[in-house]
Amino acid sequence: MPATTRSLPIATAIVLACCSCAAPAPVLPRTTAPQPSGAGPAAAARAGFDRRVAGAMTRADRFWAGYFAARGLRYQPVRGHRGYDATHPVDCGSAPLRRTDAIYCPAEDVVAFDIPWLRELDATAGGDAVALVIAHEVGHAVQARLGLGGGPPVRRELQADCLAGASTAAVAGADRAFAGLAATADPADQWWMPDFHGTAAERVATFRAGFLGGVPACDPYQGGT
C-alpha cells in the first residue's frame, strides 16, 4: 500500500485496497489454549467465556463485512483467534506474546490474548469487556487490510479504539462498558499502557467518537505526528 493512502479518508482507502485484493487465505479454526476437561461451575465458566470470545469475533467481522459490502466490496474476515497462558505460550511470527495483553498478529492474521487476563476483565468489568477488547484488535486487522494507521503507535491504537467504537455501536451499553473497562484497568496491563495506547481518558474519548460518529469519525487518527 503506497504511503500516501494513509492520509486519505477510510472510505477511499477501502476502494484502493480492495482494487488489488488477493484471494482469501484458508480460514483457521478459532481456538483458545487447551483447557482441563470436566464438568461443574469452572467448566461452565470456561465454556461461557469461550462463547463470548467467539461471539465477539463473529460480530466484529459481521460489522466490517456489512460495511465493506455496502460499498460494493468484500471484507476478508480475520483468520481466527488464539488464547494463551503461562503454560501454553503463543508467538506472533518469532516474537513471544506478552502477558496481560491482547494483540492482533498480522503475521498469522489472528487475534491473540492472555486468557487469565481477559477472563479477569470479563469477570470484573462486565459482560461487554471481552467484546470491546476483541473489537479493538479486529480494528487493527482492518488497519492492516487498508494500509491505515501510520504515524506514532499511540495514533494507531487510538484509531483502533475509534474503529472498535464504530463496530460496537449496535451493542447496547457498549459506550458505558468501555468507560467502565477503562476505570477498572490495572496500570500493569499491557493493553492499557498509557505511553503506547494513550491514557484512559483519551481511549474513552476516541471510542466514543467512533461509537457516536461511525467509521468516518476515525479519519483524524490516520498518520500525522
> Using one digit for the tens of pLDDT, what is the confidence trace for 45-79?
888 899 999 999 999 999 999 999 998 989 999 99
**pLDDT over 70 (residue 33):** no
pLDDT confidence of residue 39: 60
The mean pLDDT of the chain is: 82
Q: How many CB atoms lie within 10 A of CB 7?
A: 15
Domain ranges for the chain, please list them: 40-221
pLDDT confidence of residue 207: 94
Rounded distance between C-alpha atoms, residue 197 and residue 221, angstroms = 13
pLDDT confidence of residue 38: 54
In this prediction, residue 129 has a pLDDT band, given cuts at 50, 70 and 90, of confident
pLDDT confidence of residue 19: 40
Q: What is the pTM of this model?
A: 0.82
In this prediction, residue 9 has a pLDDT band, given cuts at 50, 70 and 90, of low
When mean pLDDT is compared across 47-56, 98-107, 168-177, 211-220, the lowest value belongs to 168-177
